Structure 1
């Protein structure tokens, strides 16, 4: 397919159309001038006029189609350039995104790549929403406009958790490690994502002044979130302990020995079954995160909710920036 740049000149088409129209007009003039009283010539002249109008309309539609095609090519080029820039920034931040020439395993590595690309797209859309919210807040927009943007951002968090759930069904261990995030972000993860109670703590200095009722409600929300986190963490700890006991039980399976092969296979099957339950813990953790955001939204006013979401976004941005600085730090 030949590529047409945005600067493609359509003057050639216009000149050709005009020449054809001038030629037909000349023919029409010569016909009418030879015998203006002849009805057959009048009919032929009317046909020429209709043909001229049809030609003009066809030329106009052709120009519109060409213009739309050129614009579509340019938009595709811009999207491709933007995606390449996003992937490059993601690699610089330490997010796992293989190069096109990398050899990918047909299941696990392809899943890693899809998670990385989904996260990059989600982060791009999230940044646009945050920029819109920041601009609206600085412009003193009305509560209705702010509420619309806030609802959109919270729903977008829900979309991230939905994607996590799909990925966890395929590989819960991979979602738990969250290799698509930056190294520093992964140091502060809890079950694959942020810890809700920690976010509530960092919001305290960004939401003043708060009423006594709001303070009490936020305190209760933080305590209930922390209790749920401890319960889930204890459940994961018990799961890990049970897997350790399964692997440690029974006799050894030396290489080349077939005597205990069936026993070893049985142990691994039970261990894999245990690890499969990680998906449930990850789903409950994401539900807790979304519920905490929604309840925080109910406790706060519209403008307080806007400032809270901006503070959360800025915190994660600083984590990613810290990760970039950590990767680029001098060594030796």
Structure 2
């Protein structure tokens, strides 16, 4: 028994020694796994930091581009204002020159200038109303509030047609020439304004989806507008041909006899009478435009009408901006 006790102690010591290496290996594996996890975490953190840095850089570049764009628009606006002021001064100088020569010419020039001033005020008020409408649409205002704003804009359109009717009496050629419009707008000018049929084509693409009944109404309106435009265009061509024939028949002889003078005066009287019909053509074209706007308003819902008015305004605003950029372009 004395021999057995030491053996037992020795056996216990051997087992303990055998277990220690296993424990050490286990600790090593845990440490390796921990190091691997730390490295993966570090890589993930680095990726996140790189992504954040890239996002910050993209946002910075976006802000710079936006700032440059705003500065470009502001520069274009200032150039447009300067050009408008120069144009106004040029018109005033032209009127002063005409005052020294022909009183009737001066009255016509003053009428054109007065219309240009009124039209500039009209545009300014329209911009204010459109901004109010846009804010109402973006804030999801109720139909009642939107309808009040729309009614005000429609009444404002009626005002420009009244102003144009008065201007046609003073100087119908000023309206026909489109000098009160920007160059890009003059490219699409028809009898002193826009073509109703073209405006309807623009709106159909902007207002989808439309109900079948609305689509039929707009299609019929577009066809009738096109027919009226064709009739007025043919009338203008006939007037031009007739006026040309009137001025080309006969001549004031070199002798200056009383008979030739009488023929000449009669010829001019006939030409003046035919020119007087130009005012009627302008009125008919403006009536067509005015009725088209009101018909669109009746066909569409309140919110569709709001979108239509915004689309119309944005289209003409882009034409004016295009004119400003074109006039301000660098010239070699």
TM-score by length of 1: 0.69
Who is 2:235 aligned against? 235
SS at match of 1:171: helix
Question: 2-side partners of 1:95 and 1:291: how far apart?
Answer: 36
Choose from 83, 88, 92 the match for 1:92. Answer: 83
Who is 2:200 aligned against? 200
Could you tell me whether the CA contact under 8 Å between 1:93 and 1:323 is conserved in 2? Answer: no
What CA RMSD, in Å, does the superposition of the two structures yield over aligned residues? 2.3
Q: Assess, with a 3 A threshold, how the Cα gap between structure 1 residues 88 and 122 changes in structure 2: closer, same or farther.
A: farther
Could you tell me whether the CA contact under 8 Å between 2:79 and 2:324 is conserved in 1? Answer: no
SS at match of 1:209: coil
| 1:157-197 CA distance string (max 9 Å, x none) | 11101000011112222221121111111111111011111
Could you tell me whether the CA contact under 8 Å between 2:112 and 2:171 is conserved in 1? Answer: no
Aligned residues: 246
Who is 1:189 aligned against? 189
Q: Which has the larger radius of gyration?
A: 2
Question: 1-side partners of 2:79 and 2:321: how far apart?
Answer: 15
Larger helix share, 1 or 2: 2
Unpaired runs of at least 5, structure 2 = 1-76, 99-105
Deviates more, 1:93-102 or 1:285-294: 93-102
Could you tell me whether the CA contact under 8 Å between 2:197 and 2:225 is conserved in 1? Answer: yes
Who is 1:125 aligned against? 125
Unpaired runs of at least 5, structure 1 = 1-85
| 1:31-56 CA distance string (max 9 Å, x none) | xxxxxxxxxxxxxxxxxxxxxxxxxx
Deviates more, 1:212-221 or 1:244-253: 244-253
Could you tell me whether the CA contact under 8 Å between 2:112 and 2:167 is conserved in 1? Answer: no
How far 1:237 moved relative to its partner?
Answer: 1.1
1:261-276 map, 5 Å: 261-276=261-276
Question: 1-side partners of 2:92 and 2:284: how far apart?
Answer: 37
Q: Assess, with a 3 A threshold, how the Cα gap between structure 1 residues 223 and 117 changes in structure 2: closer, same or farther.
A: same
Q: Assess, with a 3 A threshold, how the Cα gap between structure 1 residues 99 and 251 changes in structure 2: closer, same or farther.
A: closer
Who is 2:22 aligned against? none
How far 1:294 moved relative to its partner?
Answer: 0.5
Q: Assess, with a 3 A threshold, how the Cα gap between structure 1 residues 184 and 273 changes in structure 2: closer, same or farther.
A: same
